[in-house]
Chains A and B, each alone.
Chain A
Amino acid sequence: MTNQSDLFKYLLHLGDNALIHSYRLSELCSRGPFLEEDLALTNIALDQIGRASSFLKYAGEIEGKGRTEDDLAYKRGERQFYNHLITELPNGDFAYTIAKQLILSTYDVLLFTELSNSKDETIAGISSKVLKEVRYHFVHARDWCYRLGLGTELSHTKLQNAINEIWMFTGELFESDETYNDLYSKGIAVNTNSLKAKWLENITEVLTKSEINIPNVDYMQSGGKQGIHTEYLGHLLTEMQYLQRAYPNAKW
């Protein structure tokens, strides 16, 4: 028998990654560098909202206390969020946003390839749909890395700086978590530690082609999976959850 509270937390982790990442991307709505790219980034944000909604809805069902995906998105505090820290980082400049997209979409393609074979049918179903979306997110980010990396001296510098700054948030993506040992062994969840080598290979290929160096980083940030966050998440949630906090159960 699977421990339902572990599965619940794992689903929150999957849902929160998409929800917080989506929120950051939607902040760029009407602020993209040009119209078409504005649409591209907000399309990606919409894909992620859909993903968050699916996983959080399922999380609510597993929990069995009648909470909907909206309850879980808008009525939890930051310590109950289990997203990776990288998703809550501010957008920075365009190169910074693209560097985050590359890191996360490369990871997502590998993760959802595995999860689409999950022994949990609902996770497998959601993941098969998500996989098609994240393949596009990867292509979008990859091609922008080529353009920025091989573009002007300024665009190259900005992308290299972004990769340098964000790299310490990549370690967390591949931490295995004892909480989920049971889910790993049953083939329901994926121990992402097994994805690290392939991820590094894939991302190195893109960055090398973009003439960007992979930085040497000794210290990796950690904590998101345990609900310990950067200062950014609290600020993000105050804005995202404002309406439900100020006018509980407001509908329109």
Chain B
Amino acid sequence: MDTQLDLWEVFIQSKIGAHHVHAGSVHASDAQMALQNARDTYTRRNEGSSIWVVPSKFVVASTTNDAEMFFEPANDKIYRHPTFYVMPEGAKQI
């Protein structure tokens, strides 16, 4: 018998305006418990200003089998990186 509570994925925003970044996962029986457990597990050292929790079962993941078809076609397409432009004088970024 599985005695573990449901698994939730935790995303932490380190400061206002930053992206929420995947931090890990927690077990919890409901959304509030997941938020609180995420707070207690991942923000004890001042890491966060906001937390998202998402039930792990709703995460759709690509498979290893698909890796070749998904990712390798991008290997030889370096022109997709914006590295062929000449930076205008004085511009810090384009």
Asked if B26 lies at the interface with its beta carbon under 8 angstroms from chain A, I say yes
Provide the main secondary structure of the chain B interface: mixed
CB nearest to B38 among chain A residues:
A36
Closest residue of B by beta carbon distance from A143: B32
Contact call A36/B44, Cβ cutoff below 8 A? no
What residues of A have a CB within 8 angstroms of the CB of B36 in the complex? 40, 139-140, 143
Chain A residue, CB-CB nearest to B26: A36
Neighbour of A43 across the interface among B26, B27, B30, B40, CB < 8 A = B40
Q: Are B27 and A143 interface neighbours, CB within 8 A?
A: no
* Partner among B4, B32, B37 whose Cβ is within 8 Å of the Cβ of A40: B37
Residues of A within 8 A of B37 (CB): 36-37, 39-40
Q: B56 contacts which chain A residues (CB < 8 A)?
A: none
Alpha-carbon distance between A61 and B93 when the two chains are bound, in angstroms = 57
Interface pair B32/A34, CB less than 8 Å apart: no
When chains A and B are docked, how far (Å) is the Cα of A36 from the Cα of B26?
7
The size of the chain A interface, using a CB distance under 8 A, is: 11
Q: In the complex, which residues of chain B have a beta carbon less than 8 angstroms from the beta carbon of A147?
A: 29-30, 33
**Is A35 in contact with chain B by the CB < 8 A criterion?**
yes
Are B32's CB and A36's CB within 8 A?
no
Verify if B28 is at the interface (C-beta below 8 Å from A): yes
Measured CB to CB, the nearest residue on chain B to A139 is B36
B44 touches A43 (CB 8 A): yes
A18-B69 Cα distance, complex, nearest whole Å: 59
B-side residues, CB < 8 A to A, are 4-5, 26-30, 32-33, 36-37, 40-41, 44
Can you list 23 A-B contacts with CB-CB less than 8 angstroms, sorted by A residue number?
A34-B4, A34-B27, A35-B27, A35-B41, A36-B27, A36-B28, A36-B40, A36-B41, A37-B37, A39-B37, A39-B40, A39-B41, A40-B36, A40-B37, A40-B40, A43-B40, A139-B36, A140-B36, A143-B32, A143-B33, A147-B29, A147-B30, A147-B33
Closest CB pairs A-B (n = 9) = A36-B37, A40-B40, A39-B40, A43-B40, A36-B26, A143-B32, A39-B41, A36-B41, A36-B27
